[in-house]
Amino acid sequence: MAHQRISDPAQVDRFWFGYHPRALAPTIVAVAIVSIVTWTGRWYLDHLSELANRLGALALFAVAWGPWPVLVTVFLYRTVTYSYRLTDRALVIDFGFWHRPIPPILLADVTSVRNGTTLIGSALSVGWIEVQTIGGNIRLVGVYRPHEIAERIRTAVTTSRAKAGTDETSSPGK
């Protein structure tokens, strides 16, 4: 009787990562500048002072404070729900309940892995990773040290392919 190999369906975790809080830093700075100009502009910007007199101070208050609840919501949503999980066989991506589920990307299907940053992102060590597969592309945003993590993914793809080649040659019946 041939001894058949029983494989464990569980995947071995290699690395977990997610949306890094630094990724929203440029947006936070921009909103803070707009808010400060709006709050203090009545004293040195005549047009803003006239607008406040016409519409009321509450309108300027709304302009200054309105973006903050939205920004806090986006910040919390992305930092809590965006998760990227690299296993021995797949890359599992979750963008949270506001996005459609993404099926796991098998490492065997990955054709290339690219990464990059913006000018400000490189100063903050935050960027993106684009995983290209047979079925399409997916971009992982807000990744801390994207070049290092992209290299981990490339290594996992190479290791997965090497292991798959070894399994095929050692399986019974071949």
- CA-closest candidate to residue 104, choices 88, 87, 90: 90
Per-position DSSP letters for 76-132, written without gaps between them: HHHHHH-EEEEESSEEEEE--TTS-----EEGGGEEEEEEE--HHHHHHTEEEEEEE
Task: Kindly list the domain boundaries of the chain, sorted by start residue.
Answer: 14-165
What predicted TM-score, i.e. pTM, was given to this entire model?
0.77
Other beta carbons less than 10 A from residue 30's beta carbon: 12
Residue 12 DSSP code: P
> Which CATH number is correct for 14-165, 2.60.40.1840, 3.40.50.720, 2.30.30.140, 2.30.29.30?
2.30.29.30
Tens-place pLDDT, residues 66-125: 899 999 999 999 999 999 999 988 999 999 999 999 999 999 899 999 999 999 989 999
For the chain, count helices (H), then strands (E). 6, 7
